[in-house]
Structure 1
Amino acid sequence: SPVGVLSNVGMVGASLLIWVACGLIATCGSLTYAELGTMIPQSGAEYPYLKEAFGPIPAFLFAWTSSIVLKPSAVAIIGLVFGEYLIRPFFENCQDVPSDAVKLAAATCIAFVTCINCISVKVAERIQICFTIAKLTALLVIIGAGFYALSAGMTENLNNSFTGEVKWSTVGTSFYQGFWAYDGWNQLNYITEELKNPSVNLPRAIMIGIPLVMLVYVMTNIAYLAGLTMTEMMASRAVAVTFGVKLLGSMAWIIPLGVAISTFGSINGYIITGPRIIYTAARNGHMPEVLAMVHTKRLTPVPAVLFNTAIALAVLIPNDFDSLVNYFSFSMWMFHGGSALALLVLRWKQPERKRPYKVPIFIPVIVVLVALYLIIYPIVSQPAWEYLYATLFIASGILFYVPFIHYGINATCFINVIRPATVFLQKLLQVIQPGNYPK
């Protein structure tokens, strides 16, 4: 993402401003979601908010897009970064790391994290805490090395930070790359039902977490710009490794290890939260029944976790990081904007509804306007097929919703196939509907 932001905006100072702007907007988005999450304390984030404000069709389209593309793509993208950084030290003298090795490492990581999440939510939770501490430590090492470089006089990039021209035609794409790094600001809302005292802890976590992330990200980018020349930075596929080799010498191995730890924790976070959308949608009849089931003993949503992982492994095959990020960001901001608009609609429709946390009205308005910009501007300024594909895929969900959910068409042959398959998966995975636990 540092290279993606810089290459698309074309100016060092402007790239740092984009990192700050992305952090501020992510904070606005997360505060908007804090009100929604405390007012509608259901897991699934955007799904229950869109359903409450606009009805079942937008909610279904979100569940459809998120389950099939967004969350699995996020896991796949982070998996590719994990593989790139884990494998690259073994190919120090090669410009390109073998893509098959990267994919294999990514697939192994995803499969391992999936097993953990199927076995125990508590274990996954502890791993998330430990790996968050580890990733912050790795980033602090980079920041420390960068500020050492600044003290040694390596200030060329920063002294000339506002020279040159901004690439206005691709500024929107640079925001996509920046927002990708901040993605996760809405993750707590996917597990609202599993939080302790969400009306207090959800806003508190957001107000502490997102500004801290913004501070760390801006300082990390300053460190990269201090330690590397523009040529070195723009030519690197693994910028942190290039930075570590140049500034840390024999201790450079810390960086790929730190990034691998960081991405492992991020994959774990997505696999904790992503399947909850599938689970919530299935519970409302918008997904196959088996995806709303949990393990009889461990109470984990095993079918939803495995479904999410299977698609993530399939998404690994193309191995195109930038296209995946742009596709993900374009689609996701449609639903972020829709959720912020849902808050405004609910303020108007249900003004007396209990709101344990209430955000100032200008904040969701900012999120809606930013979402409109991020959806429209990249298409106008730099048209690409991926935006059309994303729109068509989201709209294609209606082809499934209208006959099978709205009209409830259940062809006999379909039932004869799906029912035995559901029973088979129940026995294989040892799962049942929540509320039917054996005593």
Structure 2
Amino acid sequence: MINALCVAELGTTFPRSAAPYFFMKRSLGSYTAFLNLWVELFGLFIGLAAQSLLVASYLIQPLYALCPPPELPKKCLALAILRSLGLLNIQGLKTVTWFQTLSTLVKVAILCFISITGIVLLVIGKKENVSRFENALDAELPGASQIVEAILQGFYAYGGSTLLVNMAGEVKNPGQTIPRTVLSALSIVTVIYLLTNVSFLTVLTPKEIISSDSVAVTWMDRVFPSMKWVIALGISASMTDSTSCGILTGSRLIYAASQEKQLPMIYSMLNKHLSPAVALIQLIIMSSIAVISSNLINLLKYLGIASWALSVINKIALLKMRYQEPDLQRPYKVWWPLIFISLAISAFLVFMPIIQSPKTELIYQVMFVLGGLLCYLAGVYLKQRSASFEKITCYLQLLFNILLSDDHETCISANKNE
């Protein structure tokens, strides 16, 4: 919540697409903004891959009731889901909005059903349910590195606030809407997820939860065996709204970076639905590569580290902007001690795994982040010799039937006033 409230100031101060990126460039310069873009895009690719794999796991799990589903069909289904949602997003913001509204209603209805059922079983159910819940967390106190790893994976469920700020240019009255949405939505999500986990622990043991790729399906198979297909289809349909939202905001980030001349111009061109089609296609391609090459747990872990690394950079930029431009108009201004608290927590979550239990994969992640410097220098070099890319841009423009808008923020935000 503290982290989300700090990030909300960025979106309300600069109500435009990819507000944190624009804020970073203004506060810490072009290279830092590109490094932020580099890490955030990496997080988006990983996040979309993880979400599509999760949806595929729920869809395919009922076919393999007695064993984990094989990786090949699960990854093929995840790729099909990614590409279908990419095509949906190309149709424009209004189409995506209707889809996300319906899928969110389905998600909340299913989670409320699971939560209420769990409470009923706990209150009036069998003694074994009460006993299972009471003993669910009986274990040794985890170490600091284990706590950090749990938070990094758990934070995945609360990343919607960052996506909202990236869409600040398409939100009505962002100065009031973004802070109110952050407070209300995160509170509702926390309560629903807490009650859902209470329900899971009432029916399943921790070992059963850990070993299951689709916990809700396993829970339903234990409580209402005849309805497990319904719950699998419902959860899969409802979870696609998060994936669709990630695709929507990720394409806006690529679009904004292209407008700031840090990515090729082709990404800032829009189709007839006012959608950055080429940016969407690029996002789907990179996310598909992540689906093919990684498993779900590692994807979530990498996503958490990338998110908190971005959080550290954002808080430093926020403090610098507070000092350098104290008179800048800020419709919403977070209480300054919360910035330092968020900065300290974020730094702890990033560096604790490195200090407590350094692994080879952490070195690879650091090398990847530093690789952003090479890409930035390569981009500067290619920009000076961009004439050779004009023909490629022209052919792509004809292929995808896209145009460069005169006023990109007005054009891409046109739907918010309809």
How far apart are residue 368 of structure 1 and its match? 0.6
How far apart are residue 158 of structure 1 and its match? 3.5
Counterparts of 1:215-364 in structure 2 under 5 Å? Answer: 215-295=191-271, 297-364=272-339
Cross-structure match for 1:207: 183
How far apart are residue 339 of structure 1 and its match? 1.0
1:130-151 deviations in Å (ceiling 9; x for gaps): 1111111111111122112212
Which amino acid is the alignment partner of residue 172 of structure 1? V
4+ runs deviating over 3 angstroms = 160-163
Which amino acid is the alignment partner of residue 261 of structure 2? G
TM-score, length-scaled by structure 2: 0.92
Cross-structure match for 1:91: 64
How far apart are residue 270 of structure 1 and its match? 0.5
Counterpart Cα distance in 2 of 1:149 and 1:109: 35
How far apart are residue 409 of structure 1 and its match? 5.6
Counterpart Cα distance in 1 of 2:137 and 2:368: 40
1:377 to 344, 349, 352: 352
Please say if 1:37 is aligned against 2:11: yes
Cross-structure match for 1:14: none
Is the 1:73–1:315 Cα contact (8 Å) retained in structure 2?
A: yes
Please say if 1:155 is aligned against 2:126: no
More deviation, 99-108/385-394: 385-394
Is the 1:139–1:220 Cα contact (8 Å) retained in structure 2?
A: yes
Counterparts of 1:52-71 in structure 2 under 5 Å? Answer: 52-67=26-41, 69-71=42-44
Root mean square deviation, CA, Å: 1.8
How far apart are residue 43 of structure 1 and its match? 1.4
How far apart are residue 408 of structure 1 and its match? 6.7
Counterpart Cα distance in 1 of 2:108 and 2:313: 32
Structure 1 pair 394–361 and aligned structure 2 pair: CA distance change class (3 A): same
Please say if 1:131 is aligned against 2:131: no
Specify every segment of 5 or more residues in structure 2 that has no aligned partner in the other structure, as ranges.
412-418
TM-score, length-scaled by structure 1: 0.88
Counterpart Cα distance in 2 of 1:272 and 1:403: 27
How far apart are residue 92 of structure 1 and its match? 1.8
How far apart are residue 167 of structure 1 and its match? 2.1
Please say if 1:78 is aligned against 2:51: yes
Cross-structure match for 1:424: 395
Indicate the SS of the match to 2:292.
coil
How far apart are residue 228 of structure 1 and its match? 0.8
How far apart are residue 161 of structure 1 and its match? 5.4
How far apart are residue 42 of structure 1 and its match? 2.2
Counterpart Cα distance in 1 of 2:241 and 2:94: 14
Counterpart Cα distance in 2 of 1:234 and 1:329: 19
Counterpart Cα distance in 2 of 1:301 and 1:105: 25
Is the 1:157–1:230 Cα contact (8 Å) retained in structure 2?
A: no
Specify every segment of 5 or more residues in structure 1 that has no aligned partner in the other structure, as ranges.
1-26
How far apart are residue 209 of structure 1 and its match? 0.6
Counterpart Cα distance in 1 of 2:339 and 2:87: 38
How far apart are residue 383 of structure 1 and its match? 1.6
Which amino acid is the alignment partner of residue 119 of structure 1? Q
How far apart are residue 404 of structure 1 and its match? 3.3
Which amino acid is the alignment partner of residue 100 of structure 1? L
Is the 1:331–1:391 Cα contact (8 Å) retained in structure 2?
A: no
Counterpart Cα distance in 2 of 1:100 and 1:38: 44
Please say if 1:101 is aligned against 2:73: yes
Please say if 1:191 is aligned against 2:173: no
How far apart are residue 229 of structure 1 and its match? 2.0
1:281-334 deviations in Å (ceiling 9; x for gaps): 111010011011111x21111111111011111111124111111112112211
How far apart are residue 430 of structure 1 and its match? 0.9
Structure 1 pair 381–262 and aligned structure 2 pair: CA distance change class (3 A): farther
Is the 1:291–1:303 Cα contact (8 Å) retained in structure 2?
A: yes
Is the 2:51–2:242 Cα contact (8 Å) retained in structure 1?
A: yes
Is the 2:11–2:166 Cα contact (8 Å) retained in structure 1?
A: no
